[in-house]
């Protein structure tokens, strides 16, 4: 048995996955839903809301309690003494503020030992968008959008940790002054498991607007632009394969872990998913077709988006990864489906009945304000497209989404050689054919259930020396057998030209 534990502390739940690298199997999974398990914290889907919809926090003590709850389940499910290493991933950008870190004592609960340690009782999380003022201040101090993007990997974004820290520093200066440790959700959870403050990895660190994206070190000017004395409150940046120490004796005594079990640095959920989806070599790209469509993948070298729309993070596989979020994903596909009273079968039939290129018809499907490209005023725009033609509109929305993804990921400088696709709409072969044709590369369906936790378990195994990435992922991240969709080269040629027309239309309408 070669057991490794991966945890994922997401917005709504804390999940655990145990893998056995000897048998290439996921041997145990468990999950604790925050709002259901701990109603006393008053969260909705794991989040605390206030009168201001832009402010979204969560109570870190709830995450502490959830760690004990999920480990109890793990203890009941597997022989914990056989777990060789543990790592995890956290929802990105959220921050935890501590006055002190306790010496853990197994005779008391984690909750009682952590309760008095926070200098800020609630943690701002990635859904918080209340820091526009601080974003502007930091961006200006760093020399504008382009300079900020080149320095930190992303333009300033409201949910990013630096602007959030600045807001705390400005609005609660005394509480900020008594803060000794600022952690991300990921490094906070890793610190609990290790029994001492643990480093932040460059995958999650890049989501702060505080890390020099090239050097993967704290960026002195960004720290200075954010808050006084910030450098002394942050842990070091440590690659996510760093062994932070052995698991704290608290967990040995209470849950039966082996004293030699390694506690590995955590990363963000998206960087961890890059491993859980098997994207361990440059050029490997995944697209998740969900409510929003998200494109992410591995990059061999660091390239930043000159338009400041996409993010670059460190990749746990060693180099870099990108994350680009397109808001009008299933949201737009479903809006069209509903407008024409079609089911998914009718939608697919429409794609079958219409030709690649759609006779030059174009749509900009901005049903909601769009993140990429940044469009604040929603609107659906059509060119050479008759609104009464249901089939042409179905093809137009899908072509638009794929062309937009291709166009807005070109700055990465590495065209994908293979795309792994996940998410609800990945079941639709006709949509995937358009994807394969527009990107001119094969598309594989991937049945990921919890790619972040799987990535964490695989990272634990990797950091503990269980093998190279290409060997380790084998059997865990294989695409669905027979799911490959190949591009049709005559179609790819049509889209090479059509993407240019789409770009012109998009620029005209923004």
Distance of CA 351 to the CA centre of its chain: 31
Residue 392, C-beta contacts closer than 8 angstroms, at least 6 positions apart: 350, 354, 358, 359, 361, 385, 386
Q: Can you tell me the distance from the alpha carbon of 121 to that of 60, in angstroms, rounded to the nearest whole number?
A: 7
Task: Using the minimum distance from each CB to ligand XUL, give the nearer residue, 126 or 502.
Answer: 126
Q: Which of residues 122-151 bind ligand XUL (CB under 6 A)?
A: 126
Q: By CB under 6 A, name the one of 3, 5, 11, 64 that touches ligand XUL.
A: 11
Task: Using the minimum distance from each CB to ligand XUL, give the nearer residue, 164 or 393.
Answer: 164
CA–CA distances in Å: residue 209 to residues 123, 124, 181, 440: 17, 15, 18, 34
Cβ of residue 11: shortest distance to ligand XUL, in angstroms?
A: 5
Of the ranges 104-112, 129-137, 263-271, 390-398, which one interacts with ligand XUL (CB under 6 A)? 263-271
Q: Can you tell me the distance from the alpha carbon of 371 to that of 456, in angstroms, rounded to the nearest whole number?
A: 28
Q: What is the DSSP letter of 488?
A: P
The yes or no reply on residue 93 touching ligand XUL (CB under 6 A) is yes
Cβ of residue 311: shortest distance to ligand XUL, in angstroms?
A: 6
The yes or no reply on residue 181 touching ligand XUL (CB under 6 A) is no
Task: Using the minimum distance from each CB to ligand XUL, give the nearer residue, 84 or 159.
Answer: 159
Q: By CB under 6 A, name the one of 12, 13, 87, 92 that touches ligand XUL.
A: 92
**What SS3 state is found at 405?**
helix
Q: Which of residues 204-223 bind ligand XUL (CB under 6 A)?
A: 207
Residues 428, 25, 15, 72: what is their CA dihedral angle, to the nearest 10 degrees? 150
Of the ranges 86-94, 246-254, 375-383, 391-399, which one interacts with ligand XUL (CB under 6 A)? 86-94
Q: Which of residues 384-423 bind ligand XUL (CB under 6 A)?
A: none
Pairing mode, strands 3-9 and 13-20: antiparallel
Of the ranges 27-35, 229-237, 266-274, 441-449, which one interacts with ligand XUL (CB under 6 A)? 266-274
Of the ranges 268-276, 329-337, 375-383, 502-510, which one interacts with ligand XUL (CB under 6 A)? 268-276
**What SS3 state is found at 496?**
helix
Cβ of residue 207: shortest distance to ligand XUL, in angstroms?
A: 6
**Number of chain residues interacting with ligand XUL (CB under 6 A):** 12
Of the ranges 40-48, 90-98, 365-373, 439-447, which one interacts with ligand XUL (CB under 6 A)? 90-98
Cβ of residue 204: shortest distance to ligand XUL, in angstroms?
A: 9
Task: Using the minimum distance from each CB to ligand XUL, give the nearer residue, 207 or 297.
Answer: 207
Segment (H or E) for 37: helix 34-37
Task: Using the minimum distance from each CB to ligand XUL, give the nearer residue, 272 or 401.
Answer: 272
Task: Using the minimum distance from each CB to ligand XUL, give the nearer residue, 159 or 406.
Answer: 159
The yes or no reply on residue 91 touching ligand XUL (CB under 6 A) is yes
Q: Can you tell me the distance from the alpha carbon of 19 to that of 25, in angstroms, rounded to the nearest whole number?
A: 6
Q: Are 474 and 284 in contact (CB under 8 A)?
A: no
* Residues across the chain: 510
Task: Using the minimum distance from each CB to ligand XUL, give the nearer residue, 237 or 362.
Answer: 237
φ and ψ at residue 477, rounded to 5 degrees: -120, 25
Mask: binding to ligand XUL, 151-170, rule CB under 6 A, as x and -?
Answer: --------x-----------
Residue 226, C-beta contacts closer than 8 angstroms, at least 6 positions apart: 138, 162, 163, 165, 166, 169, 209, 210
The yes or no reply on residue 327 touching ligand XUL (CB under 6 A) is no
Q: Can you tell me the distance from the alpha carbon of 248 to that of 68, in angstroms, rounded to the nearest whole number?
A: 13
φ and ψ at residue 447, rounded to 5 degrees: -95, 75
Task: Using the minimum distance from each CB to ligand XUL, give the nearer residue, 326 or 347.
Answer: 326
The yes or no reply on residue 292 touching ligand XUL (CB under 6 A) is no
**What SS3 state is found at 318?**
coil
Q: Can you tell me the distance from the alpha carbon of 497 to that of 11, in angstroms, rounded to the nearest whole number?
A: 41
Cβ of residue 452: shortest distance to ligand XUL, in angstroms?
A: 8
Q: Which residues bind ligand XUL (CB under 6 A)?
A: 10-11, 91-93, 126, 159, 207, 268-270, 323
């Amino acid at each position: 048995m070669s057991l490794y534990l991966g945890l994922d502390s997401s917005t709504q739940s804390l999940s655990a996955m145990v893998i056995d690298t000897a048998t290439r199997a996921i041997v145990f999974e468990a999950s604790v839903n925050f709002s259901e398990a701990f109603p006393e914290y008053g969260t909705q889907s794991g989040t605390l809301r206030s009168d201001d919809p832009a402010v979204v926090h969560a109570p870190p003590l709830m995450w502490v309690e959830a760690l004990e709850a999920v480990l109890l389940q793990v203890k009941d499910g597997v022989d914990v003494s056989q777990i060789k290493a543990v790592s995890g991933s956290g929802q990105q950008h959220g921050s935890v503020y501590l006055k002190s870190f306790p010496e853990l004592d197994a005779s008391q609960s984690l909750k009682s030992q952590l309760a008095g340690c926070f200098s800020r009782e609630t943690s701002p999380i990635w859904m918080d968008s209340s820091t526009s003022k601080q974003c502007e201040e930091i961006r200006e101090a760093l020399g504008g959008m382009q300079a900020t993007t080149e320095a930190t990997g992303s333009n300033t974004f409201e949910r990013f940790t630096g602007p959030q820290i600045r807001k705390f520093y400005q609005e609660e200066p005394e509480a900020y002054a008594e803060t000794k440790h600022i952690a991300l959700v990921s490094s906070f959870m890793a610190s609990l498991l290790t029994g001492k403050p643990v480093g932040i990895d460059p995958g999650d660190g890049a989501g702060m607007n505080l890390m020099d994206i090239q050097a993967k070190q704290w960026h002195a000017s960004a720290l200075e632009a954010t808050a006084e004395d910030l450098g002394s409150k942050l842990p070091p940046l440590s690659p996510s394969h760093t062994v932070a120490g052995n698991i704290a004796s608290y967990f040995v005594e209470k849950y039966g872990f082996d004293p030699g079990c390694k506690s590995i640095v955590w990363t963000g959920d998206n960087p961890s998913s890059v491993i859980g989806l098997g994207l361990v070599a440059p050029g490997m790209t995944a697209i998740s077709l969900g409510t929003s469509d998200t494109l992410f993948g591995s990059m061999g070298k660091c390239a930043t988006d000159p338009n400041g729309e996409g993010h670059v993070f460190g990749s746990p596989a060693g180099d870099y990864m990108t994350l680009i979020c397109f808001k009008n994903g299933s949201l737009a596909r479903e809006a069209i489906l509903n407008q024409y009273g079609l089911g998914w079968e009718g939608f697919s039939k429409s794609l079958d009945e219409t030709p690649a290129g759609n006779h030059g018809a174009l749509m900009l499907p901005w049903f909601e304000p769009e993140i990429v490209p940044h469009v604040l005023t929603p609107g659906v725009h059509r060119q050479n497209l008759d609104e009464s033609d249901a089939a042409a509109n179905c093809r137009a929305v899908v072509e638009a989404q794929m062309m937009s993804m291709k166009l807005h990921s070109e700055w990465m400088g590495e065209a994908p050689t293979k795309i792994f696709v996940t998410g609800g709409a990945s079941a639709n072969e006709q949509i995937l054919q358009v994807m394969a044709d527009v990107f001119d590369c094969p598309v594989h369906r991937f049945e990921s259930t919890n790619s972040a936790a799987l990535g964490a378990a695989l990272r634990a195994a990797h950091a503990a020396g269980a093998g190279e990435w290409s060997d380790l992922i084998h059997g865990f991240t294989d695409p669905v057998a027979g799911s490959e969709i190949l591009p049709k080269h005559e179609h790819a040629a049509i889209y090479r030209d059509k993407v240019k027309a789409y770009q012109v239309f998009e620029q005209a309408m923004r």
